[in-house]
Chains A and B, each alone.
Chain A
């Protein structure tokens, strides 16, 4: 994985990556209403990073997206998920009972937004974990912890 990959691959990757990422975001946000969801979107997002690793090499990608940043992302994602779940306990609902918050705050369609927020959390975590798995593998399993 060096910089000597062909120009074609690098150019195509440069063009494709933004589209892949936008598509990933679309899939994540679409989770509440149609086919889609955090996991699928997260995997697609991670796929864009994998394409970048293949095209530009691991060190180059690592400069932009560090392991530390990925770790924070993965923790953040699960915290969003579990946090919203626990938030539902406050207005006397059960865990992940979005309707309870909606009823307590009186905002219509809030529970749809909450599902979206949970999906975003899942998406962030999946993206971060997938990418860090690739990092570890491409690294020959060394040094990272």
Chain B
């Protein structure tokens, strides 16, 4: 029983964490009223995906994928997902920047950053 539990949860600890983080992020995206918190939720969501990628790149006992010159026993972790995630991080940064500047503009125009109040303001005008 315990071993089965270990097999299911603990040995794939990273993936469960990725799933939990993803759900936290999606929850924040849907349920939070504050626009900035929504954006934070989006970031958590993206971070969960990064964690997922980095997790499946892992090779038990593998070294960092830096070229070792002479005859060293080389078992590397898979470097490709790291590179992919670097790209995805850049995308995440850009999206966050655009989102934050949009929130700044919305705040300038309507004076609120709460979604419910924002809808009220929009209806009023």
Contact = CB atoms under 8 A, between A and B. Distances in A.
Any A–B CB pair closer than 8 Å: yes
A141 B108 contact: yes
Interface stretch (A5-13, A97-105, A132-140): A132-140
Contacts of B64: 35
Interface residues of B, number: 12
| SS class, residues of chain B in contact with chain A | helix
B86 A137 contact: no
Give the interface residue-count category, chain A.
Answer: 10 to 19
Contacts of B67: 33-34
Given A40-B86, A133-B97, A141-B108, 13 more contacts: A33-B67, A34-B66, A34-B67, A35-B64, A35-B66, A39-B86, A39-B90, A137-B100, A137-B101, A137-B104, A140-B104, A141-B101, A141-B105
Interface of B: 64, 66-67, 86, 90, 93, 97, 100-101, 104-105, 108
